[in-house]
């Protein structure tokens, strides 16, 4: 296990399982550009035991009670891979928040800024019911731009964000105020 990783809520699954899961996460220095350590959790998904530990840990580390949200929304694309099995484990529905242009009309869209331009996310029209409480799930929070856009998209559709659940949180990067206002959990914290 890398010494710069903090186990936050991952310890809820026990030391052996936490260390097993950590052993599957790869760090690739200098990708996608020099000075960045890419944190690859895809090997966790390829490992049946690792995937089971991950979903169990996310279910135990919810930022709010399971009774405080109605559905799970996953951010494209890795949020789909963990959000859908988490929703199933919690007996909740799953809503996919997609990159723009991936859904048939009608859709609702929200643009956001990236360090190198802009992007947009969207959901099918009527994906969220008015008053519905949503737990937003993704693999990683770095700058928080996508998560903040998801929060605005959910609000725009008459639903509310109950909280945010992440596998990993990178330190040293400011979190947008839109995200800071909500309860959130992360299994691991590590430097960007």
Half-sphere CA count of 148, side-chain side, radius 13 A:
17
Give residue 173's pLDDT: 79
Give yes or no for a contact between 127 and 94, defined as CB atoms under 8 angstroms apart. no
pLDDT band, very low/low/confident/very high, at 1 (cuts 50, 70, 90): very low
Give residue 153's pLDDT: 96
Between CA 94 and CA 101, with CA 96 as vertex, the angle to 5 degrees is 160
Of 39, 98, 115, 124, which one is the catalytic site residue? 115
- Quote the mean pLDDT of the chain: 91
Q: Which tens digit of pLDDT belongs to each residue from 154-178?
A: 999 999 999 999 999 888 777 777 7
Q: Which of 130, 138, 187 is nearest to 157 (CA)?
A: 130
Q: Using DSSP, how many helices (H) and how many strands (E) does the chain show?
A: 6, 9
| pTM recorded for the entire structure | 0.93
How far apart are alpha carbons 62 and 43 in whole angstroms? 23
One-character DSSP codes across 47-62: SHHHHHHHHHHHHHT-
The yes-or-no answer on residue 89 being catalytic is no
Left if phi > 0, otherwise alpha if psi is -120 to 50, otherwise beta: which for 136? beta
Q: Among residues of the chain, what percentage have pLDDT more than 70?
A: 97
The yes-or-no answer on residue 132 being catalytic is no
Q: Which tens digit of pLDDT belongs to each residue from 78-131?
A: 999 999 999 999 999 999 999 999 999 999 999 998 767 789 999 999 999 999
Q: What are the structural domains, with CATH classification, of the chain?
A: 8-191 (3.40.50.2020)
Give residue 171's pLDDT: 82
Of 76, 78, 89, 152, which one is the catalytic site residue? 78
């Amino acid at each position: 296990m890398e010494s710069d990783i903090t186990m936050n809520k991952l310890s809820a699954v026990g030391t052996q399982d936490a260390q097993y899961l950590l052993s599957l996460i790869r760090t690739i220095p200098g990708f996608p550009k020099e000075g960045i350590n890419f944190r690859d959790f895809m090997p966790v998904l390829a490992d049946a035991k690792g995937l089971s530990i991950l979903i169990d840990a996310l279910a135990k580390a919810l930022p709010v009670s399971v009774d405080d949200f109605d559905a799970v929304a996953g951010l494209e694309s890795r949020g789909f891979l963990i959000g859908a099995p988490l929703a199933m484990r919690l007996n909740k529905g799953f809503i996919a928040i997609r990159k723009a242009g991936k859904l048939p009309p009608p859709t609702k869209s929200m643009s956001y800024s990236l360090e190198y331009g802009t992007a947009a996310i969207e959901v099918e029209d009527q994906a969220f019911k008015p008053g519905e409480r949503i737990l937003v799930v993704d693999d990683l929070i770095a700058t928080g731009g996508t998560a903040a856009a998801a929060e605005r998209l959910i609000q725009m559709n008459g639903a509310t964000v109950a909280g945010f659940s992440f596998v990993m949180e990178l330190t040293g990067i400011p979190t947008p105020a839109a995200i800071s206002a909500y309860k959130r959990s992360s299994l691991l914290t590590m430097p960007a």
